[in-house]
């Protein structure tokens, strides 16, 4: 996929506020802990007054479902990523499912993905009739390890595609994974649901594979409330995806009843698109704010016995999560308990790898062992990094982490 330049990469993301209250004021009033310490939230979606105005315009227009507002959002998001096409969907999971259907995944086809991700990555493969096959992750980036991908592929002949996950806002090793895919004639579908605006050597995610999928859930780097997007340079994929999300209709935006294929109603509403267009305008600022907080943490946590996130040379991390790693599970849980006592939200993403989920007990790869993914699940902890964090809140997070290590 080609990539075009977009506006300067200054990014910052807040949380949904109502009325005239400023985000910081809302946090101070609504989130006061019983012991007098203000709580620091793990997420804080920010929907602006402009978004509310645009939603009001949509409501007053009466065109609430698919239509011009969605087409405009698709065009603007494609331009931001540097892709030729974008297809808006109802959420990130439906984007993944529709993209896999458009790629032609058939019953029994194996698709290789990460075991260390939100379960939707693998669920979408199953929903399309495929079989999720896993390879282990790199212990520093938590994304697919190309060497282990090669190992798995050497043992199987039924894999038709790769579904790498850009986890926590950091892109997977797309140059290596795309090289593997080219060698074996596999499709590549990027799961970019946590990585809006992330880059590798200047190119934005969403432009490396045959297609890519994004989520606009409220805690993501940008939101539509609920929503998703498929990006691709391939005309055929865009056409098939657009048809699939619209009940298999032959043409987008028509109210006709000619259905050329099986499909779903995975369409995005005009209301969601109106929010998304304002969020896309603010995405550079949202991401820059996340990066500034990450740099703040990096500097002030560097002397502690825990690993802070990595950003490989040439990569641009957008810190959907700021995820630290402790020595073992007991230490991770103790740190989480300390943060809770200090009214700092922290969360584990994800404490059970997909291949260990109950829903995957019958999948053929469930019995496989992926030691790096399993260790990461025991040892990672995410700290607040949303764009609305104040200086005092960032200091509260750092002080709570330091106090934990200095008191043990």
Residue 259 and residue 299 share a domain = no
Q: Which residues contact 104 (CB under 8 A, 6 or more apart)?
A: none
Q: Which residues contact 69 (CB under 8 A, 6 or more apart)?
A: 58, 63, 270, 273, 274, 277
At residue 25, the pLDDT reads 31
In a domain, 28, yes or no: no
Residue 251 and residue 391 share a domain = no
Q: Where among 243, 277, 311 does a domain terminate?
A: 277
In a domain, 8, yes or no: no
At residue 251, the pLDDT reads 67
At residue 294, the pLDDT reads 98
In a domain, 295, yes or no: yes
Structure-block tokens of residue 50? 């402009």
Residue 364 and residue 391 share a domain = yes
Residue 354 and residue 271 share a domain = no
CA 59 to CA 61: how far, in whole Å? 5
Centroid of chain to Cα 248:
27
Residue 227 and residue 78 share a domain = yes
Q: Where among 277, 302, 319 does a domain terminate?
A: 277
Write phi, then psi, for 39 (nearest 5 degrees).
Answer: -85, 150
- Give the predicted TM-score (pTM) of the model: 0.90
Residue 316 and residue 235 share a domain = no
Residue 214 and residue 97 share a domain = yes
CA 288 to CA 13: how far, in whole Å? 8
Q: Name the domain count of the chain.
A: 2
Residue 365: name the closest of 130, 96, 135 by CA.
135
Q: Which residues contact 155 (CB under 8 A, 6 or more apart)?
A: none
CA 363 to CA 191: how far, in whole Å? 21
Residue 55: name the closest of 80, 79, 73 by CA.
73
At residue 23, the pLDDT reads 32
Q: 10 Å Cβ neighbour count for 26? A: 18
| Angle subtended by helix axes 146-155 and 174-184, to nearest 10 | 20
CA 132 to CA 111: how far, in whole Å? 5
In a domain, 394, yes or no: yes
CATH number at residue 340: 3.90.1150.10
At residue 9, the pLDDT reads 41
Domain limits at 76?
Answer: 49-277
Residue 248 and residue 134 share a domain = yes
Cα angle 351, 352, 355 (rounded to 5 degrees) comes to 155
Q: Where among 219, 251, 277 does a domain terminate?
A: 277
End-to-end CA distance of the chain: 51
Low pLDDT (below 50) residues in the chain: 1-34
Residue 115 and residue 177 share a domain = yes
Residue 307 and residue 255 share a domain = no
CATH number at residue 255: 3.40.640.10
């Amino acid at each position: 996929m080609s990539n075009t330049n977009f506006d300067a990469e200054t990014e910052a993301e807040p949380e949904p506020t109502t009325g005239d209250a400023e985000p910081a004021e809302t946090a101070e009033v609504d989130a006061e802990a019983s012991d007098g310490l203000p709580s620091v939230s793990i997420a804080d979606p920010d929907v602006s007054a402009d978004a509310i105005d645009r939603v009001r315009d949509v409501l007053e227009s009466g065109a609430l479902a698919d239509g011009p507002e969605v087409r405009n959002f698709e065009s603007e998001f494609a331009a931001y990523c540097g892709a030729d096409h974008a297809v808006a969907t109802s959420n990130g999971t439906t984007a993944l499912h529709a993209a896999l259907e458009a790629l032609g995944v058939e019953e029994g086809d194996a698709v290789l993905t990460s075991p260390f991700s939100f379960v939707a990555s693998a669920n979408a493969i199953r929903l399309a009739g495929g079989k999720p096959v896993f390879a282990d992750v790199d212990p520093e980036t938590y994304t697919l390890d190309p060497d282990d991908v090669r190992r798995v592929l050497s043992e199987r002949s039924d894999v038709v595609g790769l579904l790498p996950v850009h986890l926590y806002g950091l892109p997977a090793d797309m140059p290596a994974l795309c090289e593997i895919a080219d060698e074996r004639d596999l499709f590549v579908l990027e799961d970019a649901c946590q990585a809006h605006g992330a880059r590798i050597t200047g190119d934005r995610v969403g432009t490396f594979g045959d297609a890519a999928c994004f989520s606009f859930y409220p805690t993501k780097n940008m939101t539509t409330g609920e929503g998703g997007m498929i990006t691709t340079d391939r005309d055929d994929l865009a056409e098939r995806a657009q048809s699939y999300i619209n009940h298999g209709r032959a043409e987008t935006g028509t109210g006709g009843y000619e259905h050329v294929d099986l499909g779903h109603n995975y369409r995005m509403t005009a209301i969601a698109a109106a929010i998304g267009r304002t969020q896309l305008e603010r995405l550079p600022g949202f991401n820059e704010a996340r990066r500034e907080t990450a740099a703040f943490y990096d500097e002030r946590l560097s002397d502690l016995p825990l690993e802070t996130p990595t950003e490989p040379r040439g990569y641009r991390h957008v810190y959907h999560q700021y995820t630290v790693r402790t020595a073992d599970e007991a230490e991770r849980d103790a740190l989480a308990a300390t943060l809770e006592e200090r009214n700092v939200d922290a969360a584990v993403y994800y404490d059970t790898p997909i291949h260990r989920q109950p829903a995957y007990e019958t999948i053929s790869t469930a019995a496989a062992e992926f030691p790096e993914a399993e260790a990461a699940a025991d040892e990672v902890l995410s700290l607040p990094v949303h764009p609305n964090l104040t200086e005092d809140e960032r200091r509260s997070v750092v002080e709570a982490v330091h106090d934990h290590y200095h008191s043990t």
